[in-house]
Structure 1
Amino acid sequence: MEEEVPFDDVFLTQSADLQTLEQLLSQIFMPMVTNGAGGEASNAGALLHSMASSSTQSSYRELLSNMQKFHSQVKQALQQLTGDVTLHMPDIPLDDIDRAASDDDIVNALESAMADWSHALATVMQRESQKQPNGKGPLAEIEFWRERCAVLSSLYEQLNMPQIKTMITILEKGSDDRNLMVGFKSQVAELTKLAAESRDNVKFLTTLERHFKNISSGPLAGILDTLPPMISALRMVWIISRHYSDDQRMGNLFQRIAREIGDRVEAAVDLRQMFRMSPEEAVELVKSCKAVLEHWYTTYMQVREKIEMSGRDARWEFPKQLLFARTNFMAEICTDLIEMIEIVDDFFKFLGPELKAVTGDTVGIDRVVHRVVAMYEPIESISFSVFDPENAQDWATAKATFFADNEDIKNATRDLIDSSFRKLRSAEAACELLQSFKSIKSRGAIQKQVMNKFNDILEQFAREIDQLNEIFETHKDNPPVTKSQPVIAGSIKWARSLLARAKQTMLKLMLTEERIIRETELGQMVDLRFRNFGKSIMTTEKKLFSTWAESANATAMQHLKQNILSRNAQTGEISVNFHPDLITLIRETKYLDRMGFSIPEIALNVALQEEKFLSWLEGLRSMLSLYFETVNQLAPVEKELLAKKLQELEGSLQQGFVTLNWNSLGISEFVQACNKAINTFQQVIKQVQKNSSIIEQVVYSIAGSKLVTEPPFDAEVLDLHEYYESLERRRMDYTEKLVKKYRTIGPLLGKIEEVVAGTNTGKSPQLSGYYRFWERAIFNALNSMVLNAMKELQRQVNVRVRRGGGA
């Protein structure tokens, strides 16, 4: 039999689980996803960051929206389960309704319970009628109806439980207190009506919740996208809902939306940081705020106009003063702030390092900059809310002071203009200065004064053209060329750089005031000087190029026909025969081609093959390096021994001296063949040197042999005959060992003969000098051995003679 679980236990278990789930959502998961989506950024920097949408932030926002919806449903279910009113049900057997209705004790108990229920219903409905939304925004309205729905639905569901319905039926049959029953039924009807109203309002307002959340915590750019669908959704609620179709309730909701939008903008715009931010970021932020405020008004009016034009739905006659007075005023404040930020930015851009570099008046410019800072500091330190319409007069006073200071700074700027143009250092910089002056907003006084300075700039430019022309005429025959450039291209580049300096200034002057240059006498004079200077540059440039072009093809053909290898007549040294003029030709061609010149065909083809030539040069140089390294490691006797091999090796290079030139196609194969011949020769050297080192060890062992040694220290004294026999035995032993070693030299020389001459006779004419070398070495080793033995014998005799004399 299944165990019955009391209703209160089920209720408590479900509410505890839901409460744990709600805490996890609100305290852990919601903050994590909110941070990923950009958060509720209320400061300017975070707002600007959140405005830069990306696919990742979009995904986070979608997840946040779904999680918020789920969180709201969990909260609603929790509120319904944990309603603060629980109807008491007496513990009475209700199996038989007729018997219970006839039982006075049961009826009295049920009447007492109904009286308690009636009192609880009256208390709840009175309390709910006195409640107000806890907050100023639209989300507070949704939460208000959601809480009311939870409380009333909890009571409504309790009253519709089978047990309570059975109790009511018993009282209807058995109770004599009709007033109690009528009052209770009236309260139930009122509760049913209020519960239905709250459920209906929650249902419709829930469709608006995500829009309200975007307004409350989303980025400003998201609010712009949210307003049109939100107003359209409000229109649908206005049309369909039974309770939000009256002016008062819908009007209050619109006022809450307007208040929320205004609060978001007010929180975003921090006057203490506005002038400290990047001007671009500050202007973008305030423009976004202004766009939100204006879009709120225009979107509302567009939907209102559609309602009026349709003629089917009730018109929106909400008080505009309550909806838009504050937001429209805030939009005007945003316009003032944008103008102020741009004015300050224009001054700072003009009074910057460029102006100091041109004028040199650092002190005067810093003085004006301090005045600009003093102009906006009162705006930063405003203590009242500039977005509150009640402070409109205070804001007007602060704004008037700002613009008055702006006019004073303009006057100081005009004085700075006069002093700046009196100390002109360069026409180009002065022209940029002129444009900087023109960019400052004013009523025309600064622009007019600046234009009067244009003639001074033209005179300065005329002097600069004369200076450039003097530099050109002085150095055109031997111009300064950068280290990395060839002579012709470097000379043309230098000449063009002079022209570019003048041309850059001329273009800026033309862009600034072309009319003055074309129509005034001074302007025409400057234009003529510039053109004459340009013609001189172009004439020299053409002369340099034509002279080079005439000889380029001949130079290329002459040096490409030369053999790839050459031998120095005096030293006999072999080298790669790639003429330096070809390298210069390639470099000149590359630079001149980049400059736009029409390069002669042969020179261009040579330049296009640069990588191939470089590859050949690298291969040839590596091959010769290996050749010299191999040959130079040979001793004179080895060179004599390998003379024929050396001739064969040098013969493999012969093509490079006779046949191959830089137009040949077989250079790579030639390099490979030479490297192969060198490697073969190296193998011969290794074999010769290996055998010769063994022979050398034998020679060293002969030279170092000791035929005569000192007798042991503790040995008996020998007479002359015994001493002679001891020396003879040692000499014969050593001689026998040395003879064995000596006899190994013949086979080693035979191996060398096989490698060098290809024979193994032991008397090859090709190795005659090599034989002499080792014969002399062995003879010298024998002499050294005998001489050392005689010296040792003499030493021992002398020692004993001295000992005998001493005795």
Structure 2
Amino acid sequence: MADPSSASERGGQASNLHMVQENLKEKQAMYKEAREARKAQLTAAHRYMFGIMADRLALKAEVVEEFVLDSPSFAPFENFFAKGGRKTISFIYQETEVPGIECGRTFHGLTKGAKITRIFLASLSEIPLKGSCLFFVRTKTDVAITPKNVHEETCFLMLDITEGLLKGTSNLLSKVFTPAIYTTENWGALNQSKHGEKDKQDFKDTMTGYITFLDGIQMNIEGMVHLDPASDIDFSRLVSFEDRKAAAADLDMVHKLESILMTWYKQIEQVLIESDQIRKEADSSGPLTEIDHWKRMLAKFSSITEHINGLCCKAVINVLNINQSKALKMWKEIDARITECTNEAKDNVKFLCTLEKVCQLLYSGDPVTMAKNIQELTSVIGMIHNVSQYYNTSERITSLFKKVTNQMVAACRNYITDNGTSRVWDQDTQDIIRKIQVRYPCKNVSQHILECKEEGI
């Protein structure tokens, strides 16, 4: 005979399940309706932005639109488009969890917790950026953004940090902002200001300096050497002298520590071998290439020195020293080599950094400014040759002078060709003559150019 209570419980469970399903259906219908409402708000201005982002990400505009519609609120668009509204609106493109039912659509074939790469409206103060940030900027807010003026009132930018935030920021500044700044002619009140030209150049130099600063940090990070950690050793038991003395009497422990030390030895030896190899540089490389090289070397050797002076390495050395291990002989030799290499890199960076500021005009100035700077430049190089412990050889100083000369030639070429934007023979003859006579006031040069252009050479 069936148990009436059991049947009643099953009926109650079925009823509860039915209610849950009904509630879920109601929520899905509500979220879908909200999504349709968001879609109805879309204008040509929205779709203009979707098209730009789709083109940049190699996606279809419809795909971008569907992803953006997943956002539960369009308030960021309203704030950005409104008169007196926000100056930026940002989107993030990266891997993230599949949106829940609140987005108003279903992602078939994907389970809860699965991840997909998608674009979505987001605030960088709330979402950690790991992929790309795409953002639109408006320079003024005195008019509302409409489908008619969106292409005039907004500009699009993208920050890609898939290679790291420092690299991404440097790329954005050097490949987007810097070219735009250098091609800008309308500087507003600065064009009429007495010190306008100097202020503009100072701003450009500041921008260039900041990019160099970011690249330097990135270079230091990339140059660091990470020696293998000794994860199977409990270093908390090697703190006191008694602990280390006991470890030195344990042959198994000694063999482990010797193995760790030899692993570090081989890694350091490989770094030294690579640093001794002939540097591969372009024949036209400038003086900043020399500075960057030694900064990388300093970061590399300093990270190794930091490891050697760390508590773990010192504990290993102390135990093996008590044991009088033969492995220490090889270690002391390579320790001395690293110390010498670190001192050389420190000394070279110290002196070359005095040259760095003087060299900046070779990269950003014209031949006239550059010529005024030659005497100071040669004085600094002379000081480096006379005082530096490692740059006092003919080979080193000749190589440095060659790099300076390379950059002078490049600066003159950029001046003549308007930074590579126009060939000599495509420019007005008198303009070319004027540029050349800035440094070479010779009538024969001018006459030669005229004859060549007339003959089509």
**TM-score between both structures, scaled by the size of structure 1:** 0.32
- What whole-Å deviation, never above 9, does each CA across 1:618-658 have from its counterpart, x for those lacking one? xxxxxxxxxxxxxxxxxxxxxxxxxxxxxxxxxxxxxxxxx
| Cα pair 1:138 1:257 within 8 Å, conserved | yes
| Cα pair 1:65 1:210 within 8 Å, conserved | no
Aligned to 1:376: 453
Aligned to 2:438: 288
**Structure 2 residue corresponding to 1:138, chosen from 280, 287, 293:** 287
Superposed displacement of residue 235, structure 1:
2.2
| Cα pair 2:298 2:345 within 8 Å, conserved | yes
| Cα pair 2:220 2:295 within 8 Å, conserved | no
Could you tell me which runs of 5 or more consecutive residues in structure 2 were left unpaired when the two chains were aligned.
1-129, 131-160, 186-191
SS of 1:245 mapped into structure 2: coil
- The amino acid that maps onto 1:281 is D
Superposed, 1:308-347 pairs within 5 Å as 336-341=444-449, 344=450
2: CA distance between counterparts of 1:120 and 1:26? Answer: 32
The verdict on how the C-alpha distance between 1:259 and 1:33 changes in structure 2, with shifts beyond 3 A counting, is closer
| Cα pair 1:80 1:154 within 8 Å, conserved | no
1: CA distance between counterparts of 2:356 and 2:333? Answer: 34
- What whole-Å deviation, never above 9, does each CA across 1:306-358 have from its counterpart, x for those lacking one? xxxxxxxxxxxxxxxxxxxxxxxxxxxx76432334xx4xxxxxxxxxxxxxx
Superposed displacement of residue 118, structure 1:
1.1
**Structure 2 residue corresponding to 1:80, chosen from 193, 202, 220:** 220
SS of 1:261 mapped into structure 2: helix
Superposed displacement of residue 64, structure 1:
3.6
Aligned to 1:734: none
2: CA distance between counterparts of 1:127 and 1:234? Answer: 28
| Cα pair 1:36 1:60 within 8 Å, conserved | no
2: CA distance between counterparts of 1:276 and 1:75? Answer: 36
| Cα pair 1:34 1:64 within 8 Å, conserved | no
The verdict on how the C-alpha distance between 1:116 and 1:273 changes in structure 2, with shifts beyond 3 A counting, is closer
2: CA distance between counterparts of 1:60 and 1:238? Answer: 35
Aligned to 1:36: 181
Superposed displacement of residue 131, structure 1:
4.1
1: CA distance between counterparts of 2:219 and 2:253? Answer: 33
Superposed displacement of residue 259, structure 1:
2.2
Aligned to 1:244: 391
Aligned to 1:153: 302
Aligned to 1:59: 199
Superposed, 1:326-725 pairs within 5 Å as 336-341=444-449, 344=450, 376-378=453-455, 380-381=456-457
- The amino acid that maps onto 2:388 is S
**Structure 1 residue corresponding to 2:336, chosen from 174, 189, 193:** 189
SS of 1:25 mapped into structure 2: helix
- The amino acid that maps onto 1:376 is K
Aligned to 1:303: none
Could you tell me which runs of 5 or more consecutive residues in structure 1 were left unpaired when the two chains were aligned.
1-12, 40-44, 46-51, 292-333, 345-371, 382-807
Superposed displacement of residue 165, structure 1:
1.2
Q: Is structure 2 residue 204 aligned with structure 1 residue 127?
A: no
1: CA distance between counterparts of 2:183 and 2:358? Answer: 17
SS of 1:186 mapped into structure 2: helix
Superposed displacement of residue 97, structure 1:
1.6
Aligned to 2:53: none
The verdict on how the C-alpha distance between 1:243 and 1:22 changes in structure 2, with shifts beyond 3 A counting, is same
Aligned to 1:163: 312
SS of 1:90 mapped into structure 2: coil
Determine which structure has greater relative contact order: mean sequence separation of CA pairs < 8 Å that are 6+ residues apart, divided by chain length. Answer: 2
| Cα pair 1:156 1:192 within 8 Å, conserved | yes
Aligned to 1:201: 348
- The amino acid that maps onto 2:200 is Y
Q: Is structure 2 residue 170 aligned with structure 1 residue 25?
A: yes
**TM-score between both structures, scaled by the size of structure 2:** 0.54
2: CA distance between counterparts of 1:172 and 1:265? Answer: 61
- The amino acid that maps onto 2:300 is V
Aligned to 1:103: 250
Superposed displacement of residue 276, structure 1:
5.3
SS of 1:173 mapped into structure 2: helix
Superposed displacement of residue 23, structure 1:
2.7
The verdict on how the C-alpha distance between 1:160 and 1:64 changes in structure 2, with shifts beyond 3 A counting, is farther
2: CA distance between counterparts of 1:98 and 1:85? Answer: 31
Superposed displacement of residue 71, structure 1:
4.0
The verdict on how the C-alpha distance between 1:127 and 1:28 changes in structure 2, with shifts beyond 3 A counting, is same
The verdict on how the C-alpha distance between 1:119 and 1:22 changes in structure 2, with shifts beyond 3 A counting, is same
Aligned to 1:212: 359
**Structure 2 residue corresponding to 1:265, chosen from 383, 392, 412:** 412
2: CA distance between counterparts of 1:22 and 1:240? Answer: 35
The verdict on how the C-alpha distance between 1:64 and 1:18 changes in structure 2, with shifts beyond 3 A counting, is farther
The verdict on how the C-alpha distance between 1:141 and 1:82 changes in structure 2, with shifts beyond 3 A counting, is closer
| Cα pair 1:36 1:57 within 8 Å, conserved | no
Structure with a larger share of its residues in helix: 1
The verdict on how the C-alpha distance between 1:282 and 1:24 changes in structure 2, with shifts beyond 3 A counting, is same
| Cα pair 2:166 2:215 within 8 Å, conserved | no
Structure with a larger share of its residues in strand: 2
The verdict on how the C-alpha distance between 1:226 and 1:132 changes in structure 2, with shifts beyond 3 A counting, is same
| Cα pair 1:239 1:245 within 8 Å, conserved | yes
SS of 1:86 mapped into structure 2: coil
| Cα pair 2:258 2:320 within 8 Å, conserved | yes
Superposed displacement of residue 35, structure 1:
4.2
- What whole-Å deviation, never above 9, does each CA across 1:707-756 have from its counterpart, x for those lacking one? xxxxxxxxxxxxxxxxxxxxxxxxxxxxxxxxxxxxxxxxxxxxxxxxxx
2: CA distance between counterparts of 1:34 and 1:54? Answer: 25
| Cα pair 2:366 2:411 within 8 Å, conserved | no
| Number of residue pairs aligned between Structure 1 and Structure 2 | 280
The verdict on how the C-alpha distance between 1:268 and 1:79 changes in structure 2, with shifts beyond 3 A counting, is closer
Which structure has the greater CA radius of gyration?
Answer: 1
The verdict on how the C-alpha distance between 1:184 and 1:70 changes in structure 2, with shifts beyond 3 A counting, is farther
The verdict on how the C-alpha distance between 1:222 and 1:22 changes in structure 2, with shifts beyond 3 A counting, is farther
Superposed displacement of residue 119, structure 1:
0.9
Aligned to 1:323: none
Superposed displacement of residue 24, structure 1:
1.1
